[in-house]
Structure 1
Amino acid sequence: MAHLNYNHLRYFWAVAHDGNLTRTAERLNLSQSALSTQIRKLEERLGHALFERRGRQLILTEAGRIALDHADTIFAAGEEMLDTLQAEGRARRALRVGALATLSRNFTLAFLRPLLGRADVEIILRSGGPAELMQALEQLNLDVVLLNQPAARDAMTRFVSQKLDEQGVSLVGTPARLGPGGALADLLARHPVILPTPESGLRSGFEALCDRLGLRPQIAAEVDDMAMMRLLARADAGLAVLPPIVVTDELASGALVEAQRLPGIVEGFYAVTLERRFPNPLLRALVHGAAAPGVA
């Protein structure tokens, strides 16, 4: 029985993580045809197609996902062996985390806190929109994605959504703007509001509340980043509609105050993973720890 050619496997591994044959060929200083030949030889050896083309993009087949899981394990073990034998200290294990751009930075930090400062762990953090993050998770370029809603699951893509926490949503503003406060309807009628963008579930909940109250508040800004909403609230651009965890430090210092909780509106926090034969071992304790009471 012929042995597996690990050069072929490494070329496949590189393309699978890049998702682009041209980019990988340039990085490896190979021609595209030579790289394609190496991958085709691996496919012939394994007896399965490892990629399918969708436009210009290469998507892993089911066999490709299995092969990539094994390749990740094989090459990670090789790196650990080098670290050990070359006395470079304990091998570092990477955790690749994607976080929705509109998600609270404070919540993301709370999720990652158990791993912060560990000499054996490297955290790679990416932010973006839900579509690009879920694509990266599906292509195994991320280990977990933090979202504010569960991911759709079907027979082709088996996402697992673990609910970590749920927070109420409030009107938050400067003490100078809010003064003695007031009733919710009065605050919304008198002050402009800083809102997340229309595709946000939080935004749709706020608009439904305004409909029930018969209000059409003035919009000061629509923002796709919770950190920017926090800065705009501190600059007194209006009342921000957000979970208090986003402005924990400002509330503690008195720079901002929580005017009113918005009835019936909550922000969920979910850790989304992909069913894998070889999940990142750092994830289990991290997800279970974040799901414990009092994480926020």
Structure 2
Amino acid sequence: MAIQTISAQVRLLESSIGHQLLKPSGRTVVLTDAGRAVFLRADEIFLLGSRIPEEAAAAATGPSVRLSVGLSDGIAKLAAHRLLQPVLATSGLKLICHDGELEQLMAELALHKLDLVLACQPPPHNSSFRLSSERLVASRVDWYGPVALVSDQKIAEFPQSLKDLPILAPTYHAALRERMDRWLENLGIQAQIVGEFEDSALLSIFSAQGMGVFPVTELGSADLVNIQSLKLLGCSDGLNEEIYGIYSSRSKNHPLVRKILNI
């Protein structure tokens, strides 16, 4: 499309809404405050429009239910699966999961690109996104490790035995990491951190290969019992991980979101 055509369309839109959308900035132009507001709304409109072919095709083949969930960096994927379990048997379900930074996921939720965000913390009180949250679970943290490292003696001496074991830890993207550090410090344990992982599933794989012991929420540990090379070292007293479901006023009305939030 020619630049002249675009300029004419912008002027026509400005005339229609009664506000200037662009302003000069050096040798180029930038969005005004009104322009930014229109851009955000237009982005939402284009997103809805892009879904029309997909939703029309789905309607032609049978009823479907779309659920878009954002998984914040640091959240245990095994735990996320457990929290989504109540809706996974929904007839015609189309589940879409995205990983990302919490701030970005909240922005997408506010723009209705997502229906729900699972995170290890609620939205900040000073957030401009006007989102709400429900605490879904406060899960105890268990410790697992490779059979070669988790001896009967190490189990009996837990948690003090952690001072003698290599530890695989989540990165500081996860809220659990800071709580884990404080918990170990309160016990007087100087941790031997030999690896840090953003992905909890990847962390468990490295542990299963003998690299070290690692913390996992009780909610996610249920899926580890089938990994024969991993063994329970101990259960933490006073160390928990909280998971929140974050939603917008619009997505709160989604039937599957309400089922997950139990509201």
Normalized against structure 2, the TM-score is what?
0.76
CA distance, structure 2, for counterparts of residue 56 and residue 191 of structure 1: 56
Residue aligning to 1:148 = 120
CA distance in 2, matches of 1:89, 1:196: 43
CA RMSD of aligned residues (A): 3.8
> Is the contact made by 1:100 and 1:130 (CA closer than 8 Å) also made in structure 2?
yes
Per the alignment, residue 71 of structure 2 pairs with 99
Gaps of 5+ in 2: 24-28
Q: Which residue of 1 aligns with 2:157?
A: 183
1:53-72 equivalences under 5 Å are: none
More contact order relative to length (CA 8 Å, sep ≥ 6): 2
Number of aligned pairs?
A: 254
**Equivalent of 1:45, from 8, 16, 36?**
16
Asked if the contact 2:141/2:240 (under 8 Å) is kept, the reply is yes
SS at match of 2:189: coil
CA contact (8 A) 2:171 2:196 kept: yes
How many Å apart are 1:164 and its aligned residue?
A: 1.4
The TM-score normalised by the length of structure 1 is 0.69
Contact 1:80 1:91 in 2 (8 A): no
Question: Displacement of 1:219 after TM fit?
Answer: 0.7
Q: Confirm or deny that 1:289 pairs with 2:263.
A: no
Matches within 5 A, 1:94-173: 94-116=66-88, 118=90, 120-154=92-126, 156-173=128-145
Aligned to 1:239: 213
Which amino acid in structure 1 is aligned with residue 176 of structure 2? L
- How far apart are residue 183 of structure 1 and its match? 2.1
Report the residue type matching 1:197 in the other structure.
T
| Cα contact 1:244–1:258 (8 A) shared by 2 | no
SS of 1:136's partner is helix
Asked if the contact 2:75/2:174 (under 8 Å) is kept, the reply is: no
Unaligned runs of 5+ in 1: 1-29
Residue identity over aligned pairs, in percent, reads 22
Residue in 1 that maps onto 2:233: 259
Contact 1:166-1:266 at 8 Å conserved across structures: yes
**C-alpha deviation, 1:194, in angstroms:** 0.7
Residue of structure 2 equivalent to 1:89: 61
- Mapped partners of 2:44, 2:221: distance in 1: 39
The one-letter code of the counterpart of 1:166 is A
